[in-house]
């Protein structure tokens, strides 16, 4: 390794866990795949480093995938040990930086743009890729009382991505994530969308999934600021965030218990996504689900925990708060696009045509009714559905524009 990487003194040991959704090889190096560090040192995804993958059927699958790529420079990034000593596979990220200009590409993989469809010329001196831009905004629609006659209106918008809205417990404010400052940060505004104020200042690492504490005084959210995704808590008025989870796994999608003593979250620390909870003031985390789970909310009567599972797995389940049988409640909802209320669940049904619809599942009747159609594409990656405490307004995130360009880099090596 020393001959390949002059000056490189250390190596970091990483391991794969959970489902990996491959869009293109460069996505891995931009931390788009789910990767867990086994050390706690701070490291940016575009810095040179050596990665050791624990040998498994999953890493073998990745190896065969890369071998199928008809690009010599990409294959040269992978150093495969001799068959007699194949306990692991090595990916040399330093080669990526030197050969592919990863530093430039990774910086383009931001919250407001996504780099995709990487291609390298046969001569190895030209790099082409697609740069995609989505402008996602937060819309409001009336769902109850006199306000139900109002059609959808754009409530929170900018030229960057705005997503992950949640009403405060008193309904007077909204917390959301936005890239309008140049990096993904947590923002708070009034319920009518006015007076937006930035409350975090991470300046680069992805931040999202913000949730109010029951008294409205604190906000929990997740961020990759520490190297993997962790749960943080901070004052709703701003200030220094407090890191709540410090496991080497990814911890995501926090939500508070009704008494404010616990924070539920999804974690892959066991090798698969499950719902956990940890004391809001810090302490030992407790596993809640055993058959999969990632995004959870405690019911208003505090008897159950309702939850969805990982990306691409539709459905809502529930489990008694004290533990017990895990029962499927709904088939259609996707993670991030459902909201638990006192008498039921609002959710987006992606199966309706020609467009998805917002529907309401009633606990009393056990049936779902349509609330409103969605006119444009939805943002299905981040948490994107919220209902006001008075039950009269619903927020959802819509992709209002999508553009992509082909970018060519000459002599990028």
> What is the four-CA torsion angle of 269, 61, 107, 382, rounded to 10 degrees?
-50
Q: Which residue has the higher pLDDT, 240 or 380?
A: 240
Residue 398: closest CA among 372, 378, 384: 378
pLDDT at res. 383: 82
Express as a percent the part of the chain with pLDDT over 90: 49
pLDDT at res. 53: 39
Mean pLDDT to the nearest integer, 133-141? 89
Q: Using the CB atoms, write b or e for 345-368: b if 16+ within 10 Å.
A: bbbbbbeeeeebbbbbbeeeeeeb
In 70-213, where do the E strands start and end? Answer: 78-79, 88-92, 114-120, 126-142, 153-156, 162-167, 173-178, 185-190, 197-198, 207-212
**In the predicted model, is pLDDT for residue 38 greater than 50?**
no
Could you give the count of Cα atoms lying within 13 Å of 230 in the half-sphere of its Cβ?
Answer: 19
- Reported as type and span, the H/E element at residue 97 is helix 93-100
Compute CA distances 269 → 9, 15, 55, 206, 296, whole Å. Answer: 29, 11, 18, 20, 16
Q: Mean pLDDT in the chain?
A: 75
The residue extents of the domains of the chain are: 12-109, 135-402
Mean pLDDT to the nearest integer, 376-402? 86
Mean pLDDT to the nearest integer, 205-219? 94
State the architecture of 135-402 in CATH terms.
Answer: 6 Propeller (2.120)
Express as a percent the part of the chain with pLDDT over 70: 69
Structure tokens at 7: 């000056």
**In the predicted model, is pLDDT for residue 382 greater than 70?**
yes
Structure tokens at 134: 């989505």
Query: Are 51 and 26 contacting, i.e. CB atoms less than 8 angstroms apart?
Result: no
């Amino acid at each position: 390794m020393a001959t390949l990487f002059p000056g490189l003194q250390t190596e970091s040991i990483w391991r794969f866990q959970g489902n990996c959704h491959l869009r293109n090889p460069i996505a891995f190096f931009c931390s788009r795949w789910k990767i867990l560090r086994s050390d706690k040192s701070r490291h940016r995804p575009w810095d040179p480093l050596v990665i050791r993958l624990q040998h498994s059927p999953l890493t073998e699958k990745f190896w065969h995938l890369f071998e199928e790529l008809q690009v010599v420079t990409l294959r040269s990034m992978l150093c495969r040990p001799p068959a007699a000593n194949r306990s692991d596979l090595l990916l040399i990220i330093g080669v990526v930086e030197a050969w592919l200009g990863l530093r430039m590409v990774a910086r383009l993989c931001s919250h407001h743009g996504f780099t995709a469809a990487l291609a390298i010329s046969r001569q190895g001196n030209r790099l082409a890729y697609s740069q995609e831009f989505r402008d996602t905004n937060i819309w409001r629609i009336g769902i109850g009382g006199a306000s139900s006659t109002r059609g959808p209106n754009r409530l929170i918008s900018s030229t960057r991505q705005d997503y992950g809205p949640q009403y405060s417990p008193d309904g007077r404010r909204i917390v959301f994530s936005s890239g309008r400052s140049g990096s993904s940060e947590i923002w708070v505004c009034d319920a009518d969308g006015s007076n937006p104020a930035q409350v975090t200042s991470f300046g680069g690492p992805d931040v999202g999934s913000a949730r109010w504490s029951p008294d409205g005084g604190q906000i929990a959210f997740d961020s990759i600021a520490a190297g993997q995704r962790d749960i943080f808590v901070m004052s709703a008025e701003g200030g220094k965030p407090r890191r709540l989870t410090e496991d080497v796994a990814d911890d995501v999608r926090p939500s508070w218990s009704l008494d404010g003593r616990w924070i539920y979250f999804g974690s892959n620390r066991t090798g698969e996504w499950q719902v956990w909870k940890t004391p809001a003031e810090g302490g030992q985390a407790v596993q809640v689900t055993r058959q999969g789970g990632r995004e959870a909310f405690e019911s208003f009567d505090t008897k159950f925990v309702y939850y969805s599972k990982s990306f691409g797995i539709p459905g809502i389940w529930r489990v008694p708060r004290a533990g017990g049988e895990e029962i499927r409640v709904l088939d259609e909802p996707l993670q991030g696009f459902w909201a638990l209320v006192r008498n039921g669940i609002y959710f987006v049904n992606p199966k309706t045509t020609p467009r998805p619809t917002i529907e309401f599942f009633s606990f009393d009747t056990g049936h779902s009714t349509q609330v409103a159609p969605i006119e444009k594409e939805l943002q299905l990656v981040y948490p994107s559905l919220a209902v006001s405490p008075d039950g009269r307004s619903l927020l959802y995130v819509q992709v209002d524009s999508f553009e992509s360009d082909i970018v060519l880099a000459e002599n990028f090596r």
